[in-house]
């Protein structure tokens, strides 16, 4: 057995999260799944929660289920806030999609700074972030400034400061870049944003459940994010929205639905929002998806975000060590930061044949990764269910394909 194989065996034997793998439903093909930053695996708890919500609650409680289903959005918001987001109570709800929550957060921030006319975002951020901003800019006569970031490294305050002035109302920024995995420093971004009196909306889609987050301590104003990636809530699992407590009573949320009305069942003529974070709710929530998320989130909380991050860093370090030894000599380039403090949960390799390699990885080796245009392969070990051996096998399978 080589020294490397021994090292990988030891890492798996000493893995304090190893037992969590059994909390996920194995797929029939026995896939080496390195795509948990797109869609997390199905856990037994999520599955059981959906089945019991269907059979016990929908089937037996019928309409009476709403007596407790209406609480799910805020209950899950509190759990996410306290366990994963570093948010004190009363600042997070789960509802709608990340795109819709971005729309609500940006327009709410704008309602607090109505005289300012500029929005700022990273040109390399996820398309929905840019599109939502473009639409808001077009329909409100605002200017959208896009930071020409380097993408493969965090957006530094020096890179971002030239786009800021007293006319900027809102800055939108992902904590972890979806293509490179670069991890932005939220506290510094918030500090620089606030230095011109603007508000920060953070997209945490690629960091929640992978990286410890401290929204209150970092002084972030608004945040949104997906729950179907590292939180494993399932396809279409609703997103979360965080709004700083001190801003809530002043802002106007743009989508006035009956679920945030103070007198929901009075069926009143005038809209008056509930006090607090509940004002961000809109309409009937997807109860089965919320049930799945409740089950899935319990697994993440049992593991604890600090332990998840520790394992994630060792796994991405291993992937980069293997990249240096086996992929770089075959023409691959690393498109993620080398410094683990500047990296989220995935690493990205570039190669001109990335598209065909990613499909052959699955057809020939049962390794499932993510391809991103034009030439990127994302490797996302998910510490709750990915072993160190799987990280090794994934990189070595790619190396074998390139050597053919
Ligand atoms: C950074 C980021 N923001 C937003 C989204 C999309 O959110 P949704 O389609 O759930 O609205 C994604 C999806 O992958 C994402 O990666």
- pLDDT band for 361, please (50, 70, 90 cuts): very high
Residue 67 sits in the same domain as residue 196: yes
4 C-alpha to ligand 1 centroid (Å): 37
Count of beta carbons in the 10 Å neighbourhood of residue 138: 10
Q: Is 206 in the pocket of ligand 1 (CB under 6 A)?
A: yes
Beta bridge partners of 35: 380
pLDDT of residue 233: 98
Residue to substitute in 101, 126, 131, 222 for testing ligand 1 pocket (most ligand atoms within 8 angstroms of CB): 126
Whether residue 213 is found in the same domain as residue 283: yes
Among candidate residues 254, 272, 301, the one where a domain is terminated = 301
CATH number of residue 13's parent domain: 3.90.1150.10
In angstroms, the CA 39 to CA 62 distance is 31
Q: What is the pLDDT of residues 118-147, one digit of tens each?
A: 999 999 999 999 999 999 999 999 999 999
Number of domains into which the chain is organized? 2
In a shared domain, residues 323 and 275 = no
Q: Are residues 160 and 123 in the same domain?
A: yes
Tell me: do 238 and 347 sit in the same domain.
Answer: no
Q: Which pLDDT tens digit goes with each residue over 298-321?
A: 999 999 999 999 999 999 999 999
279 secondary structure, DSSP code: G
Q: Ligand 1 centroid to 94 CA: how many Å? A: 15
DSSP state letter for 59: I
Tokens of 396: 């070595």
23 and 59 within one domain: no
End residue of a domain, out of 272, 301, 330: 301
Domain with residue 142: its CATH number is 3.40.640.10
Residue 226 CA, chain-centre distance (Å), reads 5
**CA 389 to ligand 1 centroid distance, Å:** 29
Q: 158 falls in which pLDDT band (50, 70, 90)?
A: confident
* Contact by Cβ (8 Å): 133, 110: no
Please report the pLDDT score of residue 69 as a whole number.
98
Q: Does residue 338 surpass a pLDDT of 80?
A: yes
DSSP SS3 for 89: coil
205 close to ligand 1 (CB < 6 Angstrom): yes
CB of 311 shorter than 6 A to ligand 1: no
- Catalytic positions, written as ranges: 126, 203, 228-229, 378
Range of the domain at 161: 48-301
Q: How buried is 295 (Cβ within 10 angstroms: 0-12 exposed, 13-18 middle, 19+ buried)?
A: buried
Residue with tokens 């049962």: 366
The verdict on 131 and 30 lying in the same domain is no
* Whether the CB of 130 sits within 6 Å of ligand 1: no
Segment 353-364 mean pLDDT: 97
Looking at the structure, do residues 293 and 383 belong to the same domain, yes or no?
A: no
With a 6 Å cutoff on the Cβ, whether 253 touches ligand 1 is no
Q: Reduced to 3 DSSP states, what percent helix, strand and coil does the chain have, rounded to the nearest 5?
A: 50, 15, 35
Q: How far, in Å, from the CA of 15 to the mean position of ligand 1? A: 31
Residues 260 and 375 in one domain: no
Q: Quick one: which atom of ligand 1 is closest to the CA of 226? A: 10
């Amino acid at each position: 057995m080589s020294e490397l194989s021994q090292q990988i065996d030891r890492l798996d034997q000493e893995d304090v999260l190893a037992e969590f793998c059994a909390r996920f439903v194995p797929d029939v093909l026995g896939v080496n799944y390195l795509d948990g930053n797109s869609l997390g695996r199905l856990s037994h708890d999520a599955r059981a929660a959906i089945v019991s919500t269907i059979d016990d609650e929908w089937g037996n409680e019928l309409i009476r289920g709403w007596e407790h289903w209406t609480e799910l959005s805020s209950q899950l918001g509190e759990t996410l806030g306290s366990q994963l987001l570093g948010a004190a109570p009363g600042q997070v709800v789960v509802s709608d999609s990340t795109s819709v929550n971005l729309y609500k957060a940006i327009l709410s921030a704008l309602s607090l700074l109505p005289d300012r006319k500029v929005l700022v975002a990273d040109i390399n951020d996820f398309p929905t972030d840019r599109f939502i901003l473009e639409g808001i800019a077009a329909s409100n006569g605002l200017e959208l400034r896009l930071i020409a970031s380097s993408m493969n490294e965090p957006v530094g305050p020096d890179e971002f400061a030239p786009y800021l002035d007293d006319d900027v109302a809102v800055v939108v920024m992902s904590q972890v870049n979806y293509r490179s995995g670069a991890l932005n420093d939220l506290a510094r971004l918030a500090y620089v944003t606030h230095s011109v009196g603007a508000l920060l909306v953070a997209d945490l889609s690629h960091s929640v459940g992978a990286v410890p987050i401290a929204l209150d301590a970092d002084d972030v104003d608004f945040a949104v994010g997906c729950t179907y990636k590292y939180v494993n809530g399932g396809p279409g699992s609703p997103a979360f929205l965080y709004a700083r407590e001190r801003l809530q009573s002043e802002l106007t949320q743009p989508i006035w639905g009956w679920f945030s009305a103070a007198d929901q069942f009075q069926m009143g003529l005038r809209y008056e929002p509930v006090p607090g974070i509940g004002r961000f709710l809109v309409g009937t929530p997807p109860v089965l998806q919320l049930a799945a998320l409740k089950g899935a989130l319990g697994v993440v909380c049992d593991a604890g975000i600090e332990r998840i991050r520790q394992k994630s860093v060792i796994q991405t370090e291993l992937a980069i060590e293997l990249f240096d030894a086996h992929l770089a000599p075959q023409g691959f380039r690393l498109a993620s930061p080398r410094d683990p403090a500047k990296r989220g949960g995935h690493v990205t390799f570039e190669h001109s044949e990335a598209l065909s390699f990613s499909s052959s990885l699955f057809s020939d080796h049962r390794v499932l990764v993510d391809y991103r245009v034009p030439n990127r392969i994302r490797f996302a070990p998910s510490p709750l269910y990915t072993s160190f051996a799987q990280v090794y096998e994934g990189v070595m399978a790619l190396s074998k394909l390139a050597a053919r």
